[in-house]
Chain A
Amino acid sequence: MSWLQKLLPPKINRAQGAGKKTVPEGLWSKCPACDAVLYRSDLESNAEVCPKCGHHHRISARRRLDLILDADDRFEIGAEVQPVDPLKFKDTKRYADRLKATQAELGEKDSLIVMQGSIKTIPAVVAAFEFKFMGGSMGSVMGERFVRGVHACIEHKVPFVCISASGGARMQEGLFSLMQMAKTSAALTQLSEAGLPFISVLTDPTMGGVSASFAMLGDVIIAEPNALIGFAGPRVIEQTVRETLPEGFQRAEFLLEHGAIDMIVDRRQMRDKLATLISGLQRKPAVA
């Protein structure tokens, strides 16, 4: 230790030391639920579920599809459908610029990715929300891709699975956004008429227009543990009723207790569970 370091107050000394020990970005990850410091690779191999406390971290749409679908023979539906700015919407930023920036950052064109493939060899179409794309908000592209996914199901006589993660409507598309609730729900009447199952998986968070349309219309509705699911946001409710919300309000467990969903399934068992459910509903042999 040099004479200079001896002279410095201990606080500064420690601060310098801490600076040196900083871990490289991306190697470690902290669980927001239990504060455990986790290896990124441990988290990844565990379907982004905290190995310490079981907290389900939010994940990207493509990662989600990788966890559900078989690796081969899959292709994307509706990638050609891309957003426009019908209202020339501008708040503190132009919607067009917001879209461009988000697209560049995420490499996705909008908030829903739809893929045809198979789940443990059972053919299916699976749609997954990209929550990072403007809060997974529901705009015209989301609605159209959803409908194309449903229509592909009808054409190929396969079931439809949608994994939601969304704050609700995309305000920047005004009433076009609201109409996607009607459009997606109407598409599900066509799927029903064709006798094909729709499994809705609700993940954290599924709110507003998404929960008040197709997400709550599953033949079977599954939620991930502790996912926030509801119509109005907790803050809006608190401001309206001027009461503190009960413990666990709008969480998956709360919805199960109130009879709103069929089951809560751990992400690590989701693929198996989906295969079991759709093979049963389609009267197919049980899958191993």
Chain B
Amino acid sequence: MKTSFLEFEQPIAELEAKIEELRYMQEDSAVDISEEIKRLQQKNQSMTKDIYNKLTAWQISQVARHPQRPYTLDYIQGLFTDFEELHGDRAYADDPAIVGGMARFEGQPVMVIGHQKGRDVKERQYRNFGMPRPEGYRKALRLYRLAEKFGLPIITLIDTPGAYPGIGAEERGQSEAIARNLYVMAELKTPIIGVIIGEGGSGGALALGVVDHLMMLQYATYSVISPEGCASILWKSAEQASVAAETLAITSSRLKTMGLIDRVVAEPMGGAHRDPAQMMQTLRRALVDELARLQSKPVPGLLEARIYKLMSYGKFKETAVK
């Protein structure tokens, strides 16, 4: 598949096009231009490195939403075996914006649940752009309980613009569905690992994000509101989105510094989509580590640590009052 480039990657795109052109020329050329190609490839690498070393928060949120970025089902295929998808909330419908089921990770049975976005126009619509409705959260809830019952650890993959703001979603209790997941995840008697693989969009992400250990891919984002949404409310102009992105502190590095996530998983140069195989390998190693650590803990201690962590969220001061 041809890589599609973001606006700020245009210099890389131009260079890639030039390399492509030279390669094409070389095929029916008597002159050896492989040296030149090599030189340009090196230049391309260092240029990508330069650009990616100083990405702004807004640029990172573009990478997090890149149309070629690996999605939940790609990670399931790359990291797990024997995936058995389980469908439906047993009450209303099966929501394709959340997928989940049993699988094996390094041979060990686990429950894996994630938001799912679509790749082309048709699939995007089918997956509702990764924006779940209440039945999606209720399916996730059912699978959490199922995992707990049979002692399977849970891995959640987070990638959503947010919960779907629709009429039917409100009628069927979007708020309650999210709230119930936060409640149940806080007391679920099995280890839970969360990985933000793309967009961590507010409450819709959090409903899969109350976990023992929260990882975030390097160029993923996690935010209480989208930069565009925040800009249009507080700055009264969606054009201030890049300022809002910076101010909101939505990137993995800033959230790690603030103690709101546990681990940043490095991405390949240019983002996960440039080298999915390498991305899988890095994430696999991180998951192996963490799963072993969490599974060595007895469940009561695990729950105590989870509650302690949840209770520690927030920044405030304490002042003596009369």
A interface, CB within 8 angstroms of B: 79-84, 86-87, 89-92, 139-141, 143-144, 147, 169, 171, 173-183, 185-190, 193, 208-209, 211-217, 229-233, 236-237, 240-241, 243, 245-246, 249-250, 258-260
Compute how far the CA of A237 lies from the CA of B163 in the bound complex, rounded to whole angstroms: 11
A82→B260 CA distance, assembly (Å) = 20
Question: Top 4 A-B pairs ranked by shortest CB distance?
Answer: A232-B165, A140-B314, A179-B313, A186-B186
A181 in contact with B315 (CB, 8 Å): no
Q: Are B224 and A174 in contact (CB under 8 A)?
A: yes
Q: Are B311 and A183 in contact (CB under 8 A)?
A: yes
- Of B175, B186, B187, B203, most buried by chain A (CB within 10 Å of CB) is B175
Chain B residues at the A interface, C-beta cutoff of 8 Å: 163-167, 169-176, 178-180, 182-183, 186-187, 202-203, 206, 209-210, 222-225, 230, 233-236, 244, 247-250, 255, 258, 260, 307, 310-311, 313-321
Q: Contacts A182-B206, A183-B310 given: A171-B248 contact, CB under 8 Å?
A: yes
- Can you name 15 A-B pairs with beta carbons within 8 Å? A81-B316, A82-B316, A91-B234, A140-B313, A141-B316, A171-B234, A174-B223, A175-B224, A179-B314, A182-B182, A186-B186, A213-B179, A216-B173, A241-B166, A241-B167
A173-B224, A231-B174 known; 17 new pairs, CB 8 Å cut-off, are A91-B235, A141-B314, A174-B223, A176-B260, A176-B313, A176-B315, A181-B206, A185-B179, A186-B183, A186-B307, A186-B311, A193-B187, A212-B174, A212-B179, A213-B203, A216-B173, A231-B203
Establish whether residues A86 and B315, one from each chain, have CB atoms under 8 Å apart when the complex forms. yes
Please give, as numbers and ranges, the residues of chain A lying within 8 Å of B230 by CB-CB distance: 171
Tell whether A186 pairs with B210 under 8 Å between CB atoms, given A175-B260, A241-B166: yes
Do the beta carbons of B167 and A183 come within 8 Å of each other?
no
Judging by beta carbons under 8 Å apart, are B318 and A82 in contact? yes
Q: Which of A147, A233, A245, A260 contacts B176 (CB 8 A)?
A: A260
Inter-chain CA distance A180–B313, complex, in Å, is 7
Chain A residue with the shortest CB-CB distance to B207:
A212
Identify which of A185, A233, A245 contacts B182 (C-beta below 8 A).
A185
What are the residues of chain A within 8 A of B203 when measuring CB–CB?
178, 181, 208-209, 212-213, 231
A211 to B203, CA, bound (A): 11
Complex Cα distance A214/B182, Å?
A: 9
User: How far, in whole Å, are A158 and B15 apart by their CA atoms in the complex?
Assistant: 69
What separation, in Å, do the CA atoms of A131 and B254 have in the docked complex? Answer: 31
